[in-house]
Structure 1
Amino acid sequence: MGARQEKYKVLLVDDEPIILRSLKVAIPWEELGLTIAGEARNGEAALRLIEEHSPHIVISDIRMPVIDGIALMKEVLPRSAKLLFIFISGYGEFEYARDALRLGAFDYLLKPIDHDELTEMLTRARLKLDRQKENEQLMHSVQMLSILARERMFTEFTLGNPRPLQHLKWLENSELEREYFMAVVRLDDYAALTAKWSAEEKHLWLFAIRNILEEWSLENGALSIFPFYNGEWVLLFPGSLSTVKKELGERLVADIKRYSKLHCSVGISRSTQGIDQLSTVYPLAAKALYQRFYSGQAGVFIEEETPEESVREVQYPKELELSLIESIRTLNMERMLVLFDEMASFIESQSLPKELAQRIIIELVVVLYRQFEQLNMQAEWSLEGLLGKLQGLGTLSSVINVLKEDFRSWMQEGSKQVTREDGRSVVDKAKRYIEENYHKDLSIEEVAEVADLSISHFCTLFKQVSGYTFLEFVTYYRMEKAKYILLNSSVKVYQVAPLVGYQDPRYFTQVFKKATGKTPTEFREQYTQQANEGYK
């Protein structure tokens, strides 16, 4: 190993314990510079472990109940683009494995597992991870940071949180210590798009736009690109390109439309220096972008330069924003209205000029609207309509009154869909769907789409409300149906499996025995014996 860096983390995913045990003992993990971060028996558990441990490599069976390997990869890769997936597949699943490679898997191997072949594969994966890391360290540049570290750093600075990664001392000499400017790219009519997209389509579209932007950035001299909100990305450009801001923006809009057929608008800030200024230029670029809401026209909007003395810096009321978000998340209307009054008091106490007050209010409105989006509560409401309405008002009190009125009606309308009890109704709806379709090849993607939630959000909500994980409930319901069939019919044991959603009778027997302590045959024989004894 020599002077190698810390070990890379590996997650093992397979529903057969014997395979998990053999992988743990047969692969020279220590020698490869790898460590097993966790094990999962199904894709649902793997999803939680990935979020918890952030592994570098996932070795997974390609076919599993509820969330299969490809569905797991498609859920995770948009957020963890450098995660390497190695799939294990049967000979009859070759086409499936080829699809996995096409969708971004690192490699696959066939059962029975050749441990030497897997070791060689892991050596190549380790080499790829090392190469990525070495490149980032050698270049000492912002755009070569790992995707996760770069996004976390830029997001924290853009939100105004100081020095989030103090240990990266070399950032003091990064490109952002020289002059740069920011462009904020936002998909037009994003709420309308997400209303018609399924959860899977949303992930795929955002992933596709991200890829387009990354390639575009490399070709057009951008320093970096990172997502900031859903449907919104931030690009940073060197100051040397400041004379062609308009052309850059127009080219970007045209290329997004050309490659994705989607429309976007771009807001571009003034030039600045220093990574600490990200939180200053973001609202300036966003403010330029909001002109799109007023004009009703998509396109490129550049912040108008103003004399320095007329620009007064003010601390954004972050705590107030977080409290408002919490009031929306908990559907606490009374608290929300009080907080809007506190917002008015804050602006008055600072004696802010209209331009700065408007900037803070616009930022706040967009953030809160996005909270409604996250809860799937925005329905047919129009962010553009509200911002346009605010633009025409002349006094702070009238602005606050419109905000209170619109957000009150939004919450009342949204509460019909997402009340505190609505989490239970969403889960009940999912349960009914499971009960009607338990005998089919049921996937969590399918049921999450019925619930109109992302897979990760649905997993969390289902567990919170029902007390079961999704897989636990599906298994429980299938086992109850299997017991009923065994006790009330003469259907042969091997024929029960497909009746309750299992195509493999052997796997069905394993699951049944784990749930009841008996094989299906033993379970039926015991009941028959007890029934016979009862007649004596």
Structure 2
Amino acid sequence: MSMHTVIIADDEQWIVEGIKAAVGWAKYGFEVVGDAEDGQAALDLIEALRPTLVFTDIKMPVMNGLELIQQGKAVSPDTLFVVLSGHAEFAYAQKAINYGTFGYCLKPFEIDEIHGMLARIAQHLASSAKKTASSHSYELYEAVCAGDLDRVGLFLDRKGMPVSPRTPVVPVVVQGPHAPPAAGGASFLSFPMSRRRHGYLMEDRRKAAFLQGLSGGSRPIECGVGVGPALTDVRELDAALEAASLAAYGMFATGQPGVYPAAPPVERPIEDKLREIAQTLERKDRLGFISAMDSTKERFRNGSFTIKEAYVLYTSVLYLFPREGPKPGGRFFEGYEQLYYRYGTAEAMVDDLVTMTLESLTEGIEAVESRISHKKVKEIVLYIRNRFNQELSIQSLSEQFYLSPNYLCQLFKKEVGETIVEHISRQRIEYACKLLEETGLSIYQVGEKCGFHDYFYFTRIFKRYRKMTPTQYRERA
């Protein structure tokens, strides 16, 4: 059995030698055939050896890892890339994902992590090898992925759909749980892109009729439909098809099926949101984390964030946990499709991340719960813990947990040792102390984040519990 070939590109030779020696390459069917200390040398090796797989660092002399991936794919389209990234270069690793890398490994490495990556790549390669190219429906997409423009042009000419300024062509990608029905007959070309993603090409003038045919007229569209920009040159097809593919994932981001035109690339401030999330996790700020994730869900719902941001958010939150100690039970995904298959919507993904992460942010909760024997009261305490900065009342809690207000108050006081109002106020003040110690927020902002919308009321309650004002507390801390 022939081995899959591997090249390692990293300017730190000790890392290269360490990976070569410690990883069980042969076990997964791989063999390291070369290594390079700069991007240009790595590119020369890729062109000469056409390896199956390249592990590349981001920061290297002469040519960085991102440039290597772009140029490496041009000279060897079938080569897979895995990014080696440190925490400091994580933003660059995010960009690398957009360039179509298979995945990335975070420094410092765990050998099991690299072994897991090799196992997934071996499985991917074995699956790809089983696909047959006998069907003409695969021919176009294979030529596009390979960058074979001559073959693409000949295929389109042969099918009576030449691309020119006089006859602009539009790509449409349909993403959904089932293969979409045929819509429009011979007026378009269709081709599978994956198990649940189908591509279509049609003349621009036939686009409206095609989209209407997809929905069956009166029946609403039940999938995500991405409409790419019209192209007048076959060289634009790859980028236009990619834009349509990303647009089709609009259903994942917003949770709503429908037609999504490809939007021009814009800078989306996911880094700001990641920074906010990282800070809440570093402070073990349970409520701040929930709030940050709730606002992230809104960014997905209104279309501000796409599946690109979803992928970065998912992998970032998992990586924000330390290598030692509690870790969330999530798994990493190599691409958008796996994320889509697993969750269906960005909101479901965010909710799962919150659930996994809160299991690791239990500081101080077990001590309170251990004193409580009543299961329903335990649930109420946890519910308050996650929402005490919101509008909470005895009436709303009684409706939420199907208890009468009087019985709820008696039961809570008996189990917890304080009234519901006292418990909520104490939670808010403890959180205020944390924010006063660990952030530079103003006193008014701290009060708002804790659920107090009146500055003077916040100060009065704070003084009742801490025997000093918030300002005095901060100065003392």
- TM-score by length of structure 2 reads 0.34
Q: Is the helix fraction higher in 1 or 2? A: 1
* TM-score, length of structure 1 as denominator length: 0.31
* Higher RCO structure (Cα 8 Å, ≥6 apart): 1
